């Protein structure tokens, strides 16, 4: 059967001050009326029933998850006592689900994505699931047809069709290919070159694989992680959470890319087009919200003169007034106000670190 694992443990510091360490972006309604987590769950409707969904998140976020997804039980939350990156949590998720369903196929979904065409997205997942059913040793990625030469995403280079009978090369139809190579985030010139070839996709961080295949690859590529996993699975996480947490902390932090995917004997990628974006920053969110006649993106109360190309975020109770400014991010919350240049994501990340350091020493 098809199961889903939703990754919801990130910190979302680039959305500060709206996103805080104790209430990060996946629990916020940044691009619509629903939170990003709720949108992720809703995209599974008709594909994976709620009882076959597992949420991987931080211990501190348990109340947020259960309040936003009341259809889930506390047993459907995989609570990490501390972050260990994606490989350990996905290993635990695979082992827990395989206990109940040894033939389980897993869909791995981040909780901070924008997907505009849900039917096309589900079609891509169904193709990936079918591929895994036909080729159980294959681990499949979902790749989005690039809409622009973006420099903020990793890329996947497609090889030959995985199924020889699939020969439709139109971007409107999803197809599954061998993975020829992975490429790190490129500079602009390289990204343009990738697009010109037609052989590269954005790497979405969405995966489909058999639980037992994942665990088999992990045991060979990262035996130390498998050893901790075996010790962990001998503990009832619901009855003995303290002991479970103590063992979980033995995991080293490592991403699934390095621990598993680089060592997978067979990789496939589904090429699909469903209006994908990774909502990793204010800039990304602005791409999906309405703009006024001066290219401003405004949420909340605002009055402005000679204001252009700004992202302005406030509440209905607080007015932001601007005059003679452009290319700014202005965000107000009851706790803090941010004013920054648009596009300076590295600077914002450094600023948040400085703010947290300052707050740590304040009385």
**pLDDT tens digits along 209-254:** 999 999 999 999 999 999 999 999 999 998 999 999 999 999 999 9
What three-state secondary structure class fits 60?
A: helix
Buried b or exposed e, range 122-137, using 16+ CB within 10 angstroms: bbbbebbbbbbeebee
- pLDDT, residue 190, reads 96
- pLDDT, residue 167, reads 44
* Mean pLDDT computed over 42-55: 97
Identify whether residues 326 and 274 lie together within a single domain.
no
Check which CATH number belongs to the domain holding 262 and give it: 3.90.550.10
Identify whether residues 243 and 301 lie together within a single domain.
no
Q: For the segment 91-107, what is each residue's pLDDT rounded down to a tens digit?
A: 999 999 999 999 999 99
Confidence of residue 279 (pLDDT cuts 50, 70, 90): confident
- pLDDT, residue 173, reads 67
Domain extent at residue 330 = 290-361
Identify whether residues 193 and 44 lie together within a single domain.
yes
Identify whether residues 164 and 105 lie together within a single domain.
yes
Q: Would you say residue 285 lies in a domain?
A: no
> Can you spell out the DSSP letters for 153-164?
S-EEEEEEESST
The strands making up 311-313's β-sheet, listed across from edge to edge, are 297-299, 311-313, 328-332, 337-341
Confidence of residue 363 (pLDDT cuts 50, 70, 90): very low
User: Which two tokens mark 83?
Assistant: 């972050």
The pTM (predicted TM-score) of the whole model is: 0.91
User: Which two tokens mark 171?
Assistant: 């971007």
Identify whether residues 189 and 318 lie together within a single domain.
no
Identify whether residues 242 and 312 lie together within a single domain.
no
Identify whether residues 108 and 152 lie together within a single domain.
yes
- pLDDT, residue 361, reads 52
Convert 229-285 into a string of H (helix), E (strand) and C (coil): HHHHHCCCCCCCHHHHHHHHCCCCCCCHHHHCHHHCCCEEEEEECCCEEECCCHHHH
Place of tokens 């199924």: 163
- pLDDT, residue 166, reads 44
The domain boundary, picked from 213, 248, 279, lies at 279
- pLDDT, residue 360, reads 62
The domain boundary, picked from 236, 252, 279, lies at 279
Identify whether residues 44 and 114 lie together within a single domain.
yes
Contacts of 132 (CB under 8 A, 6+ apart): 105, 138, 139, 140, 208, 209, 210, 213
Asked if residues 174 and 127 have their Cβ atoms less than 8 Å apart, the reply is yes
Asked if residues 78 and 244 have their Cβ atoms less than 8 Å apart, the reply is no
Identify whether residues 296 and 273 lie together within a single domain.
no
Identify whether residues 242 and 206 lie together within a single domain.
yes
- pLDDT, residue 122, reads 97
Cα separation, 274 vs 247, in Å, equals 40
- pLDDT, residue 10, reads 86
Give the count of domains, the chain.
2
Q: Residue 262 pLDDT more than 80?
A: yes
Q: What is the mean pLDDT of the chain?
A: 92
Q: For the segment 299-351, what is each residue's pLDDT rounded down to a tens digit?
A: 999 999 999 999 999 988 999 999 999 999 999 999 899 999 998 888 888 99
Q: For the segment 123-176, what is each residue's pLDDT rounded down to a tens digit?
A: 999 999 999 999 999 999 999 999 999 998 999 999 998 865 444 455 556 899
Confidence of residue 118 (pLDDT cuts 50, 70, 90): very high
Contacts of 349 (CB under 8 A, 6+ apart): 13, 14
What is the pairing mode between strands 53-58 and 77-80? parallel
């Amino acid at each position: 059967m098809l199961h889903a694992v939703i990754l919801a443990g990130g910190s979302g510091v680039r959305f500060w001050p709206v996103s805080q360490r104790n209430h990060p972006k996946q629990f916020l309604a940044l691009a619509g009326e629903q939170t990003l987590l709720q949108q992720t769950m809703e995209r599974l409707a008709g594909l994976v029933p709620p009882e076959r969904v597992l949420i991987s998140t931080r211990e501190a976020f348990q109340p947020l998850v259960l309040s936003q997804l009341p259809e889930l039980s506390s047993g459907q939350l995989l609570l990490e006592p501390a972050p260990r990156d994606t490989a350990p949590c996905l290993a635990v998720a695979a082992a827990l689900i395989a206990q109940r369903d040894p033939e389980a196929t897993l869909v791995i979904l981040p909780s901070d994505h924008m997907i505009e065409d849900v039917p096309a997205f589900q079609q891509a997942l169904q193709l990936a699931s079918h591929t895994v059913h036909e080729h159980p040793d294959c681990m499949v990625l979902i790749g989005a047809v690039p809409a622009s030469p973006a420099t903020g995403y990793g890329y996947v280079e497609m090889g030959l069709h995985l199924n020889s009978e699939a020969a439709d090369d139109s971007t409107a139809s999803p197809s599954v290919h061998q993975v020829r190579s992975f490429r790190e985030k490129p500079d602009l010139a390289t990204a343009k070159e990738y697009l010109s070839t037609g052989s590269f996709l954005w790497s979405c961080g969405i995966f489909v694989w058999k639980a037992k295949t994942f665990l088999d690859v992990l045991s060979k590529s990262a035996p130390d992680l498998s050893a901790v996993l075996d010790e962990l699975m001998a503990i009832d996480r619901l009855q003995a959470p303290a002991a479970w947490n103590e063992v979980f902390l033995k995991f080293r932090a490592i991403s699934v890319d390095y621990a598993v995917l680089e060592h997978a004997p067979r990789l496939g990628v589904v090429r699909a087009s469903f209006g994908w974006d990774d909502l990793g920053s204010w800039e990304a969110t602005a791409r999906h919200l309405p703009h006024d006649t001066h290219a401003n993106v405004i949420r909340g109360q605002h009055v402005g003169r000679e204001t252009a190309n700004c992202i302005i975020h406030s509440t209905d109770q607080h007015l932001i007034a601007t005059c003679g400014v452009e290319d700014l991010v202005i965000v107000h919350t009851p706790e803090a106000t941010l004013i920054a240049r648009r596009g300076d994501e590295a600077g914002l990340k450094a600023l948040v670190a400085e703010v947290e350091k300052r707050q740590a020493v304040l009385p």
